[in-house]
Amino acid sequence: MTGTVYLVGAGPGDPGLLTLKGKTLLELAEVVIYDALVSPPILAMINPQAERIFVGKYRGWHSLPQAQITALLVSKAQQYQTVVRLKAGDPFIFGRGGEEVAGLRQAGIPVEVVPGISAGLALGFPLTHRQVSSSVVLVTGHEAVEKSQDSVHWEGLAQSADTLVIYMGMHRLPQITAALMRGGRAGETPVCVVQWGTWPQERRLYATLGTVNDLVAQAGFTAPALVVVGEVVDRERL
């Protein structure tokens, strides 16, 4: 009899933001297959007898290709009853959880998704605000390398959403900000870059679309970081 794979969202890093169901599953797990950016306090919650397997990815380096991760999940579900796939943030927000669920179901493996708080929702910004923001878009700045061209229309997003939360965009920030301004977003639009959000080493940089690239370079901000664009940045500062 095959076991069940639980895709558990670890949240943004702060262990207090992990769901109760996620914590319970970590304590019961027989094997945990986990990503990069899962914080050490959350890893410390794992059942001490559980097998741990790191399959993290960084830009330009993958410990295992995605197809092999899915195959590993299938294999472990054939050995164990409770398999936890621990993913930073939420499994279905830029976490490739949809691909893993599809692969598991195709292999006949029972799967359950336990949502997590996505990093962009945990930064303390009022992403919607009655006075300044009636719409918010979560968007990736790092698309699949096999795509022949970007599917994100940055110029269109410039005017179509009040608040933008950009994931994995640090390496392309100059191109993204330039495209947003070409699309009509003012260079004075408030921006905040949040590095290691909710972790003890969190840092924030406040800027505008026109100044953020120079300030990021001067301050040495690098990934992992999220970029929030819109008037809500000033509301959070107030």
- Local confidence band at 148 (pLDDT 50, 70, 90 cut-offs): very low
Q: Are strands 31-34 and 51-54 parallel, antiparallel or unpaired?
A: parallel
As a whole number, the mean pLDDT across the chain is: 93
pLDDT tens sequence across 120-139? 999 999 999 999 999 999 99
Amino acid 62: pLDDT: 57
3-state secondary structure of 53: strand
Mean pLDDT within 213-230: 97
pLDDT tens sequence across 1-17? 799 999 999 999 999 99
The residue type of 112 is E
β-strand partners of 163: 136
CB count in 10 Å sphere of residue 19: 16
Amino acid 237: pLDDT: 67
pLDDT tens sequence across 33-86? 999 999 999 999 999 999 999 998 766 555 688 999 999 999 999 999 999 999
pLDDT tens sequence across 181-210? 999 999 999 999 999 999 999 999 999 999
* Angle of CA points 88, 55, 61, to nearest 5°: 95
Domains of the chain: 4-118 (3.40.1010.10), 123-237 (3.30.950.10)
- What residues act catalytically? 35, 57, 168
Q: Are strands 190-195 and 225-229 parallel, antiparallel or unpaired?
A: antiparallel
- Local confidence band at 142 (pLDDT 50, 70, 90 cut-offs): confident
pLDDT tens sequence across 83-112? 999 999 999 999 899 999 999 999 999 999
Could you tell me the pTM of the whole model? 0.91
* Angle of CA points 21, 22, 26, to nearest 5°: 115
Q: Is the pLDDT of residue 233 over 50?
A: yes
Amino acid 58: pLDDT: 65
